[in-house]
Amino acid sequence: MRQARIGILGATGAVGKVTTAMVHARMPACLRLGVRDADRARLAFSDGLAATAEVAVLDLDQPRTIARFTAGCDVVVNCAGPSCRIMDRVAIAAANAGAHYVDPEAVYQCLTSAGAGLGTLTAVLSAGLTPGLSGLLLRALASGFTECDTAEVFAGGRGPMTAAAAEDYLTAADPRIGESWAAWRNGRAVSRALSPSPLRQLPYFPGLVSAHPYLSQESVRLAQSIGLRDLSWYTVFDGEQLTAVLAQGHAAVTAEQVRRAARIDSAGRDSYQLFLLRLVGRCGDAACARTIVARCNDASSITGAVTTFAVGEIVAGRVAQGIHFASEILDPMALIGALREAGIAAVHQADAIPDQGGLVEDGVL
């Protein structure tokens, strides 16, 4: 049986390197690695991977080089950034080459507005940390509920940012992606329903953190799909520098300022990303409440793991044709199991939040 040819763009970046190593380790495939510097690629990977993978140098500002890269691929994975600049150019090139497509970021709006049709092909978008795992955890939390009433989510942590990640973060203020200070109330989005909180202690978070309300389009879609009445979603920052920079407003700061603040906050401290989700509703005739806590050490590793899982599902033929968001099409319990098995994330479910801080790892999903 012929092995799938999987092309990974941005293979030497923070997310691309993790994705490349995981795809190589977890599935039989012929890898084509898209990079800007071939020498850097050879140094970045193990001898076995560097010897077997095809390395292709390309310029994402040159459509012809993207077309050459995607030609002959069965699946194209775009780990290059920033997404706000690349937009849909790689996805469209993949479709023209007859390749399925996976992207950790969201390019749905520009794909549909450009009229890009995939025909019989499959695209899985937002297959990353947030959006991606964030929405899948909410779906896992709602499993078994017959009525979803109120949910509260705290998602974030501490760690350095790449230049591309910082630039993409600032574009999150685009109303097509999400809205700061908004919340989901009585089945609809309400602007300025919440306010940022000052530094405080939250359960499971290791120190004082600030929480900033943010209603993403991913959370809106999922609230609608599970019939959720109220949702309050907060992005959490562990560090005074980044909190102070972002308090100026997205339009008033640069990506380099965001990146520098994140670097200062994380200097000499362990990186982590943590999700704390609470849902109140009904399970059958009884009122019930449930909490999920998920923690990982590295945003790039968890993003790469979710991306790799999406690639594996496409290769296995378990994703229907068309354009999908990862949080709406992937099996949340299967992904959680894969993350646990790989030792990338610990996920705990409880009926209530314990009084003690720190992540409880027994009784995992």
Q: Is 184 in the same domain as 272?
A: yes
Which of 150 and 365 is assigned the larger pLDDT?
Answer: 150
Q: Is 291 in the same domain as 306?
A: no
Residue 355 lies in a domain: no
Query: pLDDT at residue 271 above 90?
Result: yes
Q: Is 293 in the same domain as 321?
A: no
Pairing outcome for strands 197-201 and 208-216: antiparallel
Span of 21-30, 34-43, 236-245 with lowest mean pLDDT: 34-43
> 36: exposed, middle or buried (C-beta count within 10 Å: 0-12, 13-18, 19+)?
middle
Q: Is 8 in the same domain as 96?
A: yes
Query: Tens of pLDDT along 315-355?
Result: 999 999 988 999 999 999 999 999 999 899 999 987 755 44
Which of 84 and 187 is assigned the larger pLDDT?
Answer: 187
Query: Tens of pLDDT along 17-31?
Result: 999 999 999 998 999
Q: Is 164 in the same domain as 238?
A: yes
Beta bridge partners of 209: 200
Residue 358 lies in a domain: no
pLDDT at 176: 75
In which band, very low, low, confident or very high, does the pLDDT at 243 lie, cut at 50, 70 and 90? confident
Residue 356 lies in a domain: no
Span of 21-30, 171-180, 286-295 with lowest mean pLDDT: 171-180
Query: pLDDT at residue 293 above 50?
Result: yes
Closest by Cα among 197, 196, 203, 206 to 291? 203
CA–CA separation, 340 and 140 (whole Å): 15
Residue 155 lies in a domain: yes
What is the C-alpha R_g of the chain? 20
Q: For residue 284, give its domain range.
A: 133-297+339-350
Q: Is 312 in the same domain as 228?
A: no
Q: Is 84 in the same domain as 178?
A: no
pLDDT at 365: 42
Give this prediction's pTM.
0.91
User: What's the average model confidence in pLDDT over 164-191?
Assistant: 87
Q: Is 191 in the same domain as 112?
A: no
On whether the CB atoms of residues 217 and 241 are closer than 8 A, the answer is no
Q: Is 138 in the same domain as 203?
A: yes
At 347, list the tokens.
């996920």
In which band, very low, low, confident or very high, does the pLDDT at 173 lie, cut at 50, 70 and 90? low
Q: Is 278 in the same domain as 318?
A: no
Pairing outcome for strands 322-325 and 122-125: parallel
Residue 164 lies in a domain: yes
CA–CA separation, 214 and 196 (whole Å): 9
CA–CA separation, 256 and 361 (whole Å): 36
Q: Is 270 in the same domain as 307?
A: no
Pairing outcome for strands 29-35 and 54-57: parallel
Residue 357 lies in a domain: no
Query: Tens of pLDDT along 74-129?
Result: 999 999 988 878 888 899 899 999 999 999 986 656 566 544 556 678 999 999 99
Tokens 């994140």 — which residue?
A: 262
CATH of the domain at 181: 3.30.360
Query: pLDDT at residue 269 above 50?
Result: yes
On whether the CB atoms of residues 182 and 193 are closer than 8 A, the answer is yes
Residue 201 lies in a domain: yes
| Strand segments (E) across the chain | 4-9, 29-35, 54-57, 75-78, 100-102, 122-125, 147-158, 178-180, 183-185, 188-190, 197-201, 208-216, 230-237, 272-283, 286-296, 322-325, 345-350
DSSP SS3 for 128: strand
Q: Is 228 in the same domain as 319?
A: no
pLDDT at 317: 94
Residue 50 lies in a domain: yes
On whether the CB atoms of residues 79 and 8 are closer than 8 A, the answer is yes
- Mean pLDDT in the chain? 88
CA–CA separation, 72 and 31 (whole Å): 11
CATH of the domain at 314: 3.40.50.720
pLDDT at 199: 85
Query: Tens of pLDDT along 206-236?
Result: 989 999 999 999 999 999 999 999 999 999 9
In which band, very low, low, confident or very high, does the pLDDT at 158 lie, cut at 50, 70 and 90? very high
Query: What total of structural domains would you count in the chain?
Result: 2
On whether the CB atoms of residues 53 and 33 are closer than 8 A, the answer is yes
